[in-house]
Structure 1
C-alpha cells in the first residue's frame, strides 16, 4: 500500500520531533532562530522548525489536525490537479512552512531572545484549504464542542488569532497561524486558476451563498 503524502509528513515530523525531545542539539540546530538566518544565512530553519515541537501535546495536536484535514485535502488536490495532485499538495505544505514565518522573521530578525518551532503554520494552511473546498462542513474545537460551518469557524479563528497576536500574552506564534491560513487559501486559488479547470473560489462563494439563502 502506498503511503499518502500526509502520512509521510506525519511520520517524518513525529520521528524528528521525538528525537528532539531527548536532544537539545537537534532543537538548537533546527529551531527557527531569526538571528541565525540574518547573520549566518541559515535559511533552512524556515523549514526545519516545522519538524520539531515543544512537547508531546504540541506534536499530537498538530499531527492529529494534519491527519484529520490533510487526508481529505490531499484527496481533493488529486481530483483538482490530477496525477500531480500529491506533488502540488506537498509543495503547498512545504512552502507554507516558509511563508507563514516571513512576517515573524521581519519582526524578530535581530531578536536574540526569540525562537519558534512547530508545524502549526503549515497545518493552518491545510485546514484553510479544507475550509475553502468544503465551506459548509461543520467544525468545532475539543474544548468548545459547538459545531459550526467551516467558513464561519475559519473567520472566527482568524479574528481570535489576530487579537491574541496583538496582545502577545502567550508564547504561541499566532502570526504563523494567521499567515499560514491566508497562504493556504491564496495558494489553492492561484494554483487551481493556472493548473486546473476547477473553479475553487466560485464553488466556495456559491456554497456560502446557498447556505445564506436557506434562511
Structure 2
C-alpha cells in the first residue's frame, strides 16, 4: 500500500469520472456497457469502455480500493508502463472471456473494472507470492498464531472459488470477467518478468493450475 503512484491516481480519476457520468446519464451507460449482442454487431469498443462504468458507488469504491491495495506491488515489479499494460490487457482479457462464455446470450450485460483489478491482484501475487495478506476487521494474530494468508494460496483459492461460482451461476457477479482478468495479469506479468519462472517455478506453476482446470472443465462441458 502506501502513497499512490500518479498512474494509479489517473486510472482512479478516469473510473470515477466515467462512472459518475454513467450514474447520471442512462443513455451514456447503455451505449458503453458490455453487451454481447451489441459487441457481436461490431461495437467492440464496449469491451474497453465497460471497464470504466460501475453499477453504483459501492461497486466503484470496492474496485478502486482493490487497485489501491495492489498497484504499487505491480509497479515495483514491472514498472509503470508494465503496470498500465497489465491493467488494460487484463480488462480486455476479462471482456473476452465473458464474451466467450456468454456469446449465445445476446442480452448479457456487465460493467466494472473488476477484470482489470483482478489482473493487477494476480500480477501482484505472482511478483510477491510469499507476502501475507490479512482480512479487514479480523485480527492479524491470535496469540502467537499468524492469521495472514500467503499470496499464492490466496490467489489459487480465489480462482478455484471463481470456477465454483461460474459453475453455480447463483449470483449476479461477472466471475468470468474476474477470471479472464487474472489470466491476463498472469500471462502479461510472466512475459514482462520471465525471471519469475526460473526463480520461482513451483509457485508460478501452481498459480496456473486453476486456469488449466477452468479450460479442461470447459472442454468437458462441465462449465
TM class, shorter-chain normalised? 0.7 to 0.9
**Partner residue of 2:199 out of 199, 203, 206:** 203
Q: Which runs of 5+ in 1 are unaligned?
A: 79-85, 194-198, 209-215
Q: Secondary structure at the match of 2:133?
A: strand
Task: Verify the 8 A CA contact 2:78 2:192 in the aligned structure 1.
Answer: no
Residue number in structure 1 paired with 2:170? 169
User: How far 1:201 moved relative to its partner?
Assistant: 2.4
1:178 and 2:179 matched: yes
Residue number in structure 2 paired with 1:72? 73
- Alpha-carbon RMSD: 2.1
Q: CA offsets per residue over residues 136-157 of structure 1, 9 Å max, x none?
A: 1111443776521001111110
**Structure 1, 181-190 or 141-150: larger mean CA deviation:** 141-150
Residue number in structure 1 paired with 2:133? 139
Query: When the two structures are superposed, what TM-score results if normalisation uses the length of structure 2?
Result: 0.80
Residue number in structure 2 paired with 1:106? 100
Q: Which whole-Å CA distance do the structure 1 matches of 2:5 and 2:94 have between them?
A: 26
1:34-45 aligned at under 5 Å gives the runs 34-39=36-41, 41-45=42-46
Q: Which runs of 5+ in 2 are unaligned?
A: 140-146, 205-223
Q: Secondary structure at the match of 2:200?
A: helix
User: How far 1:132 moved relative to its partner?
Assistant: 0.5
Q: Secondary structure at the match of 2:148?
A: strand
1:1-215 aligned at under 5 Å gives the runs 4-39=6-41, 41-78=42-79, 86-142=80-136, 146-193=147-194, 199-205=195-201
Task: Verify the 8 A CA contact 2:93 2:183 in the aligned structure 1.
Answer: no
Query: When the two structures are superposed, what TM-score results if normalisation uses the length of structure 1?
Result: 0.83
Task: Verify the 8 A CA contact 1:31 1:45 in the aligned structure 2.
Answer: yes
Q: Secondary structure at the match of 2:66?
A: helix
Task: Verify the 8 A CA contact 2:35 2:109 in the aligned structure 1.
Answer: yes
Q: Which runs of 4+ in 1 moved over 6 A?
A: none
Task: Verify the 8 A CA contact 1:136 1:207 in the aligned structure 2.
Answer: no
Q: Which whole-Å CA distance do the structure 2 matches of 1:3 and 1:139 have between them?
A: 21
Residue number in structure 1 paired with 2:218? none
User: How far 1:104 moved relative to its partner?
Assistant: 1.6
User: How far 1:7 moved relative to its partner?
Assistant: 1.4
User: How far 1:38 moved relative to its partner?
Assistant: 0.7
Task: Verify the 8 A CA contact 2:98 2:180 in the aligned structure 1.
Answer: no
Task: Verify the 8 A CA contact 1:137 1:149 in the aligned structure 2.
Answer: yes
Aligned residue pairs total: 194
